[in-house]
């Protein structure tokens, strides 16, 4: 009888310890896929059809999310997309689409190599009121399938704070992620810097997130965030330009995007797009920039009711541009850096 009581007490104590561990601030992790060779978006031009969820990889392969999507990243064994209707984070591979159980409103980011995925889950934390839950920061190592970081740190207190007001007024989201660090801006005003080798986080308060001196900001020529990004070796950068076109719109306030490219020595290059309006967005590599162009604005009627722009690539230093076929509803992967 004494032996039975001893065993019973041991089991009860063990259960109590496990329960205490499970009720930590970090909560329970999700079941993630793993892959020995993660693939990121640093391999060439990648884009997706926002209406169908068809993802076009740089090697010519396509993945099908089979749903409308609001954003995506290339990571792990394929891609991760955000469902446009319910913000569900979906893993998409050659085998099909699988809900991860996470929900993302402010978009996910992945490291350039595709190994790490970082996001803020809107439903993982305890419920505050209505549909509002305490937000949760999550970083996943897709090579091991393990969560490196999961925490509600900096997300407000369910008991003491009005989370609805806090989240409405705050500017938060994943700033950047590489293979060493993830940076997440949280609603309380801090920027969390997460060491991906240990999962430990440090915080920095009152930070100007767009300051180009910050490690999470991608290469740029000018300090103003309105200037577009520079290419990886900082030899060319995107300059935001808009012009009026009297032949199409008599109102001088009606301006058309016509971005240009600026070299490191200050030379300006006007892309040879063959379009009336275009916007350059990201660099595929050191010589190729990608953006959207509307080549249908050839008369005032189209200006009033414009057609959907197509994806376009341009090269430096020649400025030659090419429209990507059947890309009228294309979106680009979320950049790894801010």
- Report pLDDT digits (tens) over 96-138: 999 999 999 988 999 999 999 999 999 999 999 888 999 999 9
Is the confidence at residue 20, as pLDDT, over 70? Answer: no
Within this chain, do residues 259 and 147 fall inside the same structural domain, yes or no? no
Within this chain, do residues 235 and 106 fall inside the same structural domain, yes or no? no
With CA atoms as reference, report the closest residue to 118 among 62, 193, 224.
193
Sign, Cα dihedral of 83, 89, 93, 97 = negative
Q: Are 57 and 87 in contact (CB under 8 A)?
A: no
Q: Identify whether 166 is part of a domain.
A: yes
- Indicate the number of domains in the chain: 2
Report pLDDT for 26: 53
* Predicted confidence (pLDDT) per residue in 271-299, tens digit: 999 888 899 999 999 999 999 998 765 55
Report pLDDT for 5: 37
Within this chain, do residues 176 and 321 fall inside the same structural domain, yes or no? no
For residue 165, the surrounding DSSP H or E stretch is helix 163-169
Report pLDDT for 83: 97
Is the confidence at residue 302, as pLDDT, over 60? Answer: no
Within this chain, do residues 149 and 186 fall inside the same structural domain, yes or no? yes
> What is d(CA 227, CA 237) in angstroms, rounded to the nearest whole number?
8
Report pLDDT for 151: 96
Q: How many CB atoms lie within 10 A of CB 276?
A: 21
Within this chain, do residues 233 and 326 fall inside the same structural domain, yes or no? yes
Q: How many CB atoms lie within 10 A of CB 282?
A: 18
> What is d(CA 32, CA 108) in angstroms, rounded to the nearest whole number?
15
Parent domain of 65: 47-205
Domain boundary among 170, 205, 240: 205
Is the confidence at residue 21, as pLDDT, over 70? Answer: no
Q: What's the pTM value of the predicted model, to 2 decimals?
A: 0.86
Query: Mean per-residue pLDDT for 176-193?
Result: 96
Report pLDDT for 77: 95
Least confident stretch, 37-41, 68-72, 179-183? 37-41
> What is d(CA 206, CA 191) in angstroms, rounded to the nearest whole number?
8
Q: How far is CA 58 from CA 137, 153, 295, 333, in A?
A: 30, 37, 24, 12
> What is d(CA 310, CA 307) in angstroms, rounded to the nearest whole number?
9
Within this chain, do residues 156 and 199 fall inside the same structural domain, yes or no? yes
> What is d(CA 5, CA 29) in angstroms, rounded to the nearest whole number?
34
Sign, Cα dihedral of 85, 89, 92, 98 = negative
Q: Residues in the chain, how many? A: 338
Is the confidence at residue 1, as pLDDT, over 50? Answer: no
Q: Identify whether 38 is part of a domain.
A: no
Within this chain, do residues 187 and 72 fall inside the same structural domain, yes or no? yes
Q: Identify whether 210 is part of a domain.
A: no
Within this chain, do residues 156 and 271 fall inside the same structural domain, yes or no? no
> What is d(CA 298, CA 284) in angstroms, rounded to the nearest whole number?
29
Is the confidence at residue 9, as pLDDT, over 70? Answer: no
Within this chain, do residues 201 and 240 fall inside the same structural domain, yes or no? no
**Percentage of the chain lying above the pLDDT 70 cut:** 84
Label residue 23 by pLDDT band (50, 70, 90).
very low
Residues 6 or more apart whose CB falls under 8 angstroms from that of 98 comprise 33, 90, 91, 92
Q: Are 143 and 34 in contact (CB under 8 A)?
A: yes
Is the confidence at residue 19, as pLDDT, over 60? Answer: no
What is the DSSP code string of 2-45?
HHHHHHHHHHHHHHHHHHHHHTSTT-PPP-----SS---STTS-
> What is d(CA 214, CA 208) in angstroms, rounded to the nearest whole number?
9
Within this chain, do residues 51 and 116 fall inside the same structural domain, yes or no? yes
Tokens of 217: 């900001």
DSSP H helical ranges for 253-314: 300-304
Most confident of 28-32, 96-100, 124-128, 226-230: 96-100
Tokens of 233: 């070796």
Q: Identify whether 128 is part of a domain.
A: yes
Q: How many CB atoms lie within 10 A of CB 119?
A: 30
């Amino acid at each position: 009888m004494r032996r039975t009581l001893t065993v019973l007490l041991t089991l009860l104590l063990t259960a109590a310890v496990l329960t205490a561990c499970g009720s930590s601030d970090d909560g329970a992790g999700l079941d993630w896929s793993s892959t020995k060779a993660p693939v990121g978006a640093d391999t060439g031009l990648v884009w997706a059809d926002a209406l169908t969820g068809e993802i076009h990889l740089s090697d010519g392969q396509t993945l099908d999310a089979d749903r409308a999507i609001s954003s995506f990243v290339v990571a792990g064994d394929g891609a991760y997309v955000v469902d446009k209707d319910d913000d569900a984070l979906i893993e998409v591979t050659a085998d099909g689409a699988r809900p991860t159980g996470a929900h993302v409103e402010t978009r996910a980011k992945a490291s350039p190599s595709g190994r790490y995925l970082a996001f803020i889950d809107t439903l993982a934390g305890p419920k505050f009121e209505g549909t509002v839950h305490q937000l949760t920061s999550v970083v996943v190592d897709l090579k091991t399938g393990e969560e490196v970081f999961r925490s509600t740190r900096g997300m407000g207190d369910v008991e003491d704070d009005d989370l609805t007001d806090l989240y409405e007024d705050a500017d938060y989201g994943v700033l950047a992620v590489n293979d060493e660090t993830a940076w997440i801006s949280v609603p309380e005003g801090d920027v969390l810097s997460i060491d991906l080798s240990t999962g430990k986080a440090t915080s920095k308060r009152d930070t100007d997130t767009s300051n180009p001196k910050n490690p999470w900001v991608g290469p740029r020529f000018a300090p103003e965030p309105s200037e577009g990004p520079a290419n990886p070796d900082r030899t060319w950068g995107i300059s935001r330009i808009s012009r009026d076109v009297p032949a199409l719109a008599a109102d001088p306030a009606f301006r058309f995007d016509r971005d240009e490219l600026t070299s490191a020595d200050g030379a300006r290059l006007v892309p040879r797009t063959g379009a009336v309006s275009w916007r350059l967005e990201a660099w595929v590599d050191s010589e190729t920039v990608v953006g959207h162009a509307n080549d249908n604005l050839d008369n005032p009627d189209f200006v009033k009711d414009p057609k959907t722009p197509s994806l376009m690539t341009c090269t430096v230093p020649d400025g030659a541009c090419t429209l990507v076929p059947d890309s009228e509803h294309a979106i680009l992967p979320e950049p790894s850096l801010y």
